[in-house]
Amino acid sequence: MPFRTLSVFFALTSATLGVLLVRAQNTQAPQSTAASTPSPSPPISLILQEDDGEHRLRRPGGPAGSASVPGFIIKIDKQNGNAEDFYVGYEILNPGAMIPFHKHHNSEEVVIFEEGGATVTVGDKRAVAGPHSIVFIPRETWVGITNTGDKPIRGYYLFSRQGFENFLRARSVRPGEPLTPLTPEEVRRAAEDGHVIPWDTSKGPYPPGVPHP
């Protein structure tokens, strides 16, 4: 009887050790996999001067009026600083230049003007922005900007979420690259990737609900 009890004890002990060994192996497998996966790169701190950033030139064939601002700079995004959330852009509006009506699906936007003279239409508001003014553009809100002054206006464009830079890159090239005209399909795909709707001027000069002269 003692021998049978001892045999049962050894059998149970062996089974328990086997289960623990299998569990330990299963626990270690994900850890080794995780250890082999590189961790994502952290964002990079930046101090950018006015001309620093990714310079781009718009290709012909974009929305009506967009060619009046031929160049712009992508300051901060995933490719510039490895930012997790923000997109920041910069461009100069010469007298008469315009940013055609459009609206963003996925992001709020803040525009900061260093100089005055930009006539801004956003939502149900229209005004001439003075020096160092700020414009807030909620999601799904039509916005259009025109330099109605007689001097260049420097503008900074800050987005709470990335996406619009996809639209801008798809419609532009780096300086020195061929400025091939955009096809309608490229414009459509760029707008989809950039979460933006440019206003279709074939329906009229102004989107519904926005004030105009």
pLDDT in tens, 131-155: 999 999 999 999 999 999 999 999 9
Res. 173 pLDDT band, cuts 50 70 90: very high
Is the pLDDT at 61 greater than 80? The verdict is: yes
List pLDDT tens digits, range 112-123. Answer: 999 999 999 999
CA angle 87, 89, 90 (to 5 degrees): 165
Q: List, in order, residues 6 or more apart from 65 with CB less than 8 Å away.
A: 98, 99, 100
Measuring CA to CA, which residue among 63, 128, 117, 126 is closest to residue 92? Answer: 117
Q: How far is CA 191 from CA 22, 29, 126, 165, in A?
A: 53, 44, 25, 10
Tokens at 119, concatenated: 């006539």
What gap in Å lies between CA 10 and CA 160, rounded to an integer? Answer: 65
Which of 96 and 26 is assigned the larger pLDDT? Answer: 96
Q: How far apart are the first and last CA of the chain?
A: 105
Reply yes or no on whether the pLDDT at 186 is more than 80: yes
Of all residues in the chain, what percent carry a pLDDT higher than 90? 77
Residue 177, pLDDT > 50, answer: yes
**pLDDT attached to residue 53:** 98
Q: Phi first, then psi: what are they for 113, rounded to 5°? A: -105, 130
C-alpha dist (Å) from residue 117 to 94, 127, 146, 166, 201:
10, 10, 9, 29, 24
Say how far apart CA 136 and CA 158 lie, in whole Å. 10
Q: Is the pLDDT of residue 210 over 50?
A: yes
Share of the chain above pLDDT 70, in %: 82
**Over the chain, what is the mean pLDDT?**
87
* Residues ≥6 apart with Cβ < 8 Å to 90: 50, 53, 72, 73, 75, 154, 155, 156, 157
CB atoms closer than 10 angstroms to residue 64: 15
- Cα 130 from Cα 117, distance rounded (Å): 6
Question: For 65-100, what is each residue's pLDDT tens digit?
Answer: 888 999 999 999 999 999 999 999 999 999 999 999
Instruction: Judge if pTM exceeds 0.85.
Output: no
Nearest to 153 by CA among 108, 112, 213, 122: 112
Q: Which residue has the higher pLDDT, 65 or 204?
A: 204
